[in-house]
Chains A and B, each alone.
Chain A
Amino acid sequence: MSDVTAFQKERAATRASGIFFILKKALLSAFVALVLFSLMVGIRTEAGPTGQLIYWTRFGELASLVAAVFVGSIVIELLRQWLGRAGASNIIPPSVQSGLSVAGKLIAPALLIFTFLVPVIFYDQRYILDLAILVLTYVMLGWGLNVVVGLAGLLDLGYVAFYAVGAYSYALLATNFGLSFWVCLPLAGILASLWGVMLGFPVLRLRGDYLAIVTLAFGEIIRLVIVNWQSLTGGPNGVSGIPRPTLFGIPLTPDDDGFAARLGIEFSPTHRVVFLFYVILAMALLTNWVTIRLRRLPIGRAWEALREDEVACRALGINITTTKLTAFATGALFGGLAGAFFATRQGFISPESFTFNESALVLAIVVLGGMGSQLGVALAALAMIGGFELFRGLEQYRMLVFGLAMVLLMIWRPRGIIGHRAPTVFLKRSEAISSDLVKEGHG
């Protein structure tokens, strides 16, 4: 009898301390919110009509925000205690999880078939076709950067430099020498990958943060050179009149020898959009195929080994220098190809398209997707570029929603959408390796 009462007392005590704990946490969060928002929301300043500073206070909004944080903190804490420790495994029953893993195997082929059918399904929706081309461009860029960041573990913040080199290579070769897209495409790729090697050499000894800073600077250098070398690149005015790609020499124009006239069908500007869609799809799939092949070759395994342990690689007779350089060159090659496509699609390029934001976006795609995972990167590109368009209706709150979604994803899946690693070779069974064991690389 006394045992039971003691037990009840104890439970009451833990519950009471639980309430105090929740209240304390909520008050603390509310206080932080108060400090942060008092200046950001509480006081609004503006330049007055005669240039002086005027301000007014918005304590009502401030109070409601702080109250929202207070209540939200209590709700989150209650939810957490109710559901137990964080982790999807507690919430999702095993049967659903096994169903999800089957769905996971089907998602890649389903996505591929759907992508092939996009121009058929959305033939008269120009907006969706344009968006699909944009998404595929970023998928290709993501897959290219994935070689450097995901496989070799080298943090590259200046990937846009190769994109720019590819775009300007095609634009300048085509406008100055009249070379066709299909001739310039490999040239643009080779030039970009030469730049990759040039960047690779000085940064070979750098790791982690230092490598990131130097690659960031390299990206900016390329952009500034383009802005300032007016005689060659046209400076801030960019290059215009970049020729469109042809279908084996047949232009997709309303002319007499154009694609539509030859087939005897009525000309439509959508033909060219659909053509561009399949060009970038083919290029992206080529990137994917090459990357998957490379992973199973000694060079790809050496990249991953480099990410895992550089010292052990040296002890095994692997030349770190060439391994890093080939990773940079391969990533840059794909970036350059995507750049050439970008130039031919836009018809006009200027340095504004190659700012640090682009590098950050592509890196975010790779990190969100799960470093090293091809499917993850494709899904992340779809979510980032497509999802961003989806929230266009929210106007200025779009960035807020976007940031929130990224924070939530990183809490839920710190190693990206697909964080585990698939082995490149197996004897009996191929089993995914948990992300806890896979290293992120150190430079």
Chain B
Amino acid sequence: MSGANCILSVDRLSMRFGGIVAVNELSFDAGRRKITALIGPNGAGKTTVFNCITGFYRPTGGAMRLTHDGGAEIALERLNDFRISKYAKVARTFQNIRLFPGMTALENLMVAQHNTLMRASGLTFLGLIGAPSWRAAEKRAIERASFWLERIGLIDRADDAAGNLPYGDQRRLEIARAMCTEPALLCLDEPAAGLNVRESGALSELLLSIRADHGTSILLIEHDMAVVMEISDHVVVMDYGVKIAEGSPKEVRDDPKVIAAYLGADEQEAIAVMESDT
């Protein structure tokens, strides 16, 4: 994939914890304004890849190149911690939801706009004296938050504590919070986990509309194959820290290696199973 169509290019990424190789020389590309899914059995190293991309781990080896719309290239392996979100514009959600439970849904979305608001408040000093420019910026931030609350259908619960919301709403709120940072790349770690069929259907719609309306590229880890097959443009399959297959959802679904990895059988057996099916 060439640079213009590719937002994230992961090149021979490796992550070792002591003697354990969690990710071994993984290479893949994520398309611009595309939804790329990263799948694989439990313990395949998907979340480790995410943690490397979003700066929570510093990879042992390899490179991750992020290309913004303007053509600016950022080497993600050189940034860490909060800088990934602030400068590289990569946002993420977590496998186990990490909202601020004691803050309202609206406050959660306001915290996500921290860096914009910090600048507008003149590093707090303009805000402390209540300067008009700060008031205007705060109003815009509330409007943006309301927009996203409307979008995920939680506008009526804007003033409720995030910890009091039902599980599915919390999942959507976390996605909205990530979107409030105005990311170029949105990384979702199992967004459909724990959702029922209707909720995961709504989630698919939300993700497709995020891509269509905001031009945000999405990278997601997901176990719910219905969601993966429905929305992803490109699927990367991992097992034991290495890439075992890659391609369109259909190609991947029919790949014997993938089936073997998921069924825990060896490749020959999987082929036999597939042939007996057809």
Contact = CB atoms under 8 A, between A and B. Distances in A.
Nearest to B113: A298
Given A311-B98, A427-B146, A302 B111 contact: yes
Interface stretch (B117-125, B229-237, B269-277): B117-125
B42 interface: no
A423 B159 contact: yes
Nearest to B163: A437
Interface in A348-394: none
B86 interface: yes
A316 B99 CA distance: 11
Nearest to B87: A317
B107 A316 contact: no
A294 B124 contact: yes
Given A297-B127, A427-B142, A314 B102 contact: no
A293 B100 contact: no
A314 B100 CA distance: 13
Chain A interface size band reads 35 or more
Given A304-B100, A304-B103, A319 B82 contact: yes
Contact of A317 (B101, B103, B115, B121): B115
B177 interface: yes
B128 interface: yes
B272 to A, nearest CB: 44
A257 interface: no
B111 A430 contact: no
Contact of A315 (B98, B113, B128, B158): B98
B158 A428 contact: yes
A318 interface: yes
B163 A316 contact: no
Contacts of A302: 111, 114
Contact of A316 (B112, B127, B158): B112
Interface of B: 54-56, 81-86, 91-92, 94, 98-104, 106-107, 110-115, 117-118, 121, 124, 127-128, 142, 146, 155, 158-161, 163-164, 177-178, 181
Interface of A: 290, 293-294, 297-299, 301-302, 304-305, 308-309, 311-320, 326, 421, 423-431, 433-434, 437-439
9 contacts: A298-B121, A312-B94, A314-B55, A317-B86, A424-B110, A427-B142, A427-B158, A429-B159, A433-B161
